[in-house]
């Protein structure tokens, strides 16, 4: 049984991969600057005798060949860290001040390296080709996934399915969660500049008040979600900055705002962009002000393929037991894995890394994020099992 062999190997390599995770965690690099991380991954693959190529400057793509077959599977791990100052007091805490693996991408990379080793050792026990994608820049637009896809990561050969796991501190270690369909939202950035005739606060009739206009825009935009969006499909619009003016008695000539728009339906996403533009432009017009709007297109929603997800969750059930496999909640967070699921069937799932008893509860993107490292064993086994049978 390959499953038992995979589990046994993952257990025997555990300490080694825990050290690898410590090394990666202590040496985090920001998105698209994963130079040392990329070198480290390459050296690990060299050590295992696995051939690989570089894509998108720091991305590493390795190909494993099993028994002759047309089967082609891709396994993806992201490698970048975040601009956060780590507050954990652990031996493996970040040595790069202000940069931290606060989203667990060190864990994803570690698990894929471990899986690569196991799959390479067991290559007479699985069929076809496995493409291992060590991806840069998940945390930053335009997203490493979109760059790698443009550079051909899904060509020659094109995988039939792609899988990725993500650490999940709200899920206890030992568990995994899956959901078919929409699991993560698209995320687009909104930049608004309201321009008008500034002037004396005591003579508003001689101005076109940019502060009032901006305020009305903030309020009016709320109807995009509450009145225009289908309430059965989650979507959110948040204006998160508002900057304008400098004193009590001057109406400024410019106010700038920024925000985010998220959706789980690609058709609605682009309809909403038009709606946002109409509301902003007409509100400005009604106030005699002018407006500039830029909507910066971010990641698409992540849509898990039903068959691929059912394959992954049944493999997880047989690996860790059905009772520990659950239904993943959808999230309006964003993930550039959505670029892959637009191209080929994929499954993005959650790896439990929390441990309430041990106090490992901090969320991702916080300065105290960490994992229960027992998750590494499961993460390695699961990626290897998906490679072999997914
Ligand atoms: Ni992440």
Rounded percentage of the chain residues whose pLDDT exceeds 90: 100
340-377: pLDDT as tens digits: 999 999 999 999 999 999 999 999 999 999 999 999 99
Residue 1 has what pLDDT?
87
Residues of the chain with CATH 3.40.630.10: 2-183+301-389
User: How far away, in angstroms, is 351 Cα from ligand 1 center?
Assistant: 12
Closest by Cα among 98, 100, 164 to 131: 164
Compute the distance from residue 321 Cα to the ligand 1 centre, in Å: 26
Instruction: Give distance in angstroms: CA of 55 to centre of ligand 1.
Output: 20
Q: How far is the CA of 138 from the centre of ligand 1 (A)?
A: 7
Q: Residue 18 and residue 23: Cα distance in Å, rounded?
A: 9
**Ligand 1 centroid to 184 CA: how many Å?**
12
Average pLDDT, the chain: 97
Q: Per-residue pLDDT averaged across 272-290, rounded?
A: 98
User: What are the pLDDT digits (tens) for 57-69?
Assistant: 999 999 999 999 9
Q: How far is the CA of 104 from the centre of ligand 1 (A)?
A: 6
| Best CA proximity match to 241, nearest among 286, 194, 184 | 194
| Å from CA of 209 to ligand 1 middle | 41
- Predicted confidence (pLDDT) per residue in 282-315, tens digit: 999 999 999 999 999 999 999 999 999 999 999 9
Integer Cα distance of 90 and 27 in angstroms: 13
Query: For 372-384, what is each residue's pLDDT tens digit?
Result: 999 999 999 999 9
Task: Report CA(205)–ligand 1 centroid distance (Å).
Answer: 50
Locate CATH 3.30.70.360 in the chain. 186-299
Q: Strand order of the sheet with strand 52-55? A: 52-55, 59-65, 127-135, 67-78, 161-172, 346-354, 176-178, 325-327
* Mean pLDDT value across residues 268-279: 98
Domain 2-183+301-389, CATH among 3.90.79.10, 3.40.630.10, 3.30.300.100, 3.40.50.1370: 3.40.630.10
Provide the CATH topology of domain 186-299: Alpha-Beta Plaits (3.30.70)
Looking at the predicted structure, is the pLDDT value of residue 48 above 90?
yes
pTM of the predicted model, to two decimals?
0.93
């Amino acid at each position: 049984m390959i499953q038992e062999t995979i589990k046994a190997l993952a257990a025997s390599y555990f300490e080694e991969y825990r050290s690898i995770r410590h090394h990666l965690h202590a040496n985090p690099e920001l998105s698209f600057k994963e130079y040392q991380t990329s070198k480290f991954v390459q050296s690990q693959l060299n050590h295992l005798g696995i051939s690989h190529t570089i894509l998108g400057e720091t991305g590493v793509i390795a190909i494993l060949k099993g028994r002759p077959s047309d089967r082609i599977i891709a396994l993806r791990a992201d490698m970048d860290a975040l601009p956060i100052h780590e507050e954990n007091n652990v031996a493996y805490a970040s040595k790069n001040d202000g940069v931290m693996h606060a989203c667990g991408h060190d864990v994803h990379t570690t698990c894929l390296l471990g899986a690569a080793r196991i799959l390479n050792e067991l290559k007479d026990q699985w069929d076809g080709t496995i493409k291992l994608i060590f991806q840069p820049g998940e945390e930053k637009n335009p997203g490493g996934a979109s760059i790698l896809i443009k550079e051909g990561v899904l060509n020659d050969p094109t995988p039939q399915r792609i899988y990725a796991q993500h650490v999940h501190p709200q899920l206890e270690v030992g568990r995994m969660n899956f959901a078919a369909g929409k699991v993560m939202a698209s995320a687009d950035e909104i930049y608004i500049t309201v321009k008008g005739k500034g002037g004396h606060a005591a003579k508003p009739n001689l101005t076109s008040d940019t502060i009032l206009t901006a305020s009305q825009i903030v309020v009016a935009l709320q109807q995009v979600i509450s009145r225009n969006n289908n309430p059965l499909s989650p979507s959110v619009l948040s204006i998160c900055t508002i900057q304008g003016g400098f004193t009590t008695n001057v109406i400024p000539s410019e106010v700038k705002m920024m925000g985010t728009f998220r959706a789980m339906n690609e058709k609605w996403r682009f309809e909403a962009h038009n709606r946002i533009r109409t509301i902003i432009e007409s509100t400005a017009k009604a106030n005699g002000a002018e407006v500039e709007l830029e909507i910066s297109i971010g990641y698409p929603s992540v849509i898990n393929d039903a068959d691929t997800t059912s394959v992954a969750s049944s493999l997880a059930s047989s690996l860790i037991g059905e009772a520990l496999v659950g239904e993943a909640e959808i999230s309006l967070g964003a993930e550039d894995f959505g670029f892959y699921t637009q191209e080929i069937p994929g499954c993005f799932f959650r790896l439990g890394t929390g441990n309430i008893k041990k106090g490992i509860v901090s969320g991702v993107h916080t300065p105290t994020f960490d994992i229960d490292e027992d998750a590494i064993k499961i993460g390695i086994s699961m990626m290897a099992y998906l490679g072999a049978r997914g």
